[in-house]
Amino acid sequence: MYNEINGNLNGEGKRFAVVVGRFNSLISERLLEGALDCFVRHGGKEENLTVVRVPGSFEIPFAAQKLAQSGKYDGVVCLGAVIRGSTPHFDYVAAEAAKGVAHAAFNSGLPVIFGVLTTDSIEQAIERAGTKAGNKGWDAMLSAIEMADIYKQLG
């Protein structure tokens, strides 16, 4: 028989930082609302959250790494939206945001969750920020809560 480790979905006593990109704030603010709602509904207290606003998704990893390395948090949730336009700018920003968030997680030893939407249209982003496809900010916070518990169990 094997041993199995599963994360509990309980935010009680946990502290998280949430980094939010201001660019495309119509979307990122809805993602933040979802993340906050998820945390409170899973036993967390709002005073155990720190929200850091950065200019856009490209800057998210820099703040995430600083927060993750501070020793103050059980995890960091990264929220933003990169919406494809008519130039290759989307490809660069989306790729660097994803790589940077992963880099922050590897360097810090904390769960650093990628909740940055990368969509082809504003309609797709709206769907993922609280309408047809749920709220990906909620999903990102739920992942952070679960992973923080798993990290604790792993030692």
Contact status, residue 24 vs residue 80, Cβ threshold 8 Å:
yes
Task: Report the b/e string of 67-78 with b at 16+ CB within 10 A.
Answer: bbeeeebbbbbb
Which amino acid makes up residue 122? I
| Residue 42: active-site member | no
Q: Out of 41, 45, 89, 152, which one is annotated catalytic? A: 89
How far apart are the C-alpha atoms of 152 and 49, rounded to whole Å? 19
DSSP 3-state assignment of 142?
helix
Residue 10 backbone phi and psi in degrees, to 5? -130, 115
Residue 18 bridge partners (DSSP): 51, 77
How far apart are the C-alpha atoms of 141 and 35, rounded to whole Å? 5
How far apart are the C-alpha atoms of 81 and 79, rounded to whole Å? 7
The residues that are catalytic are: 89
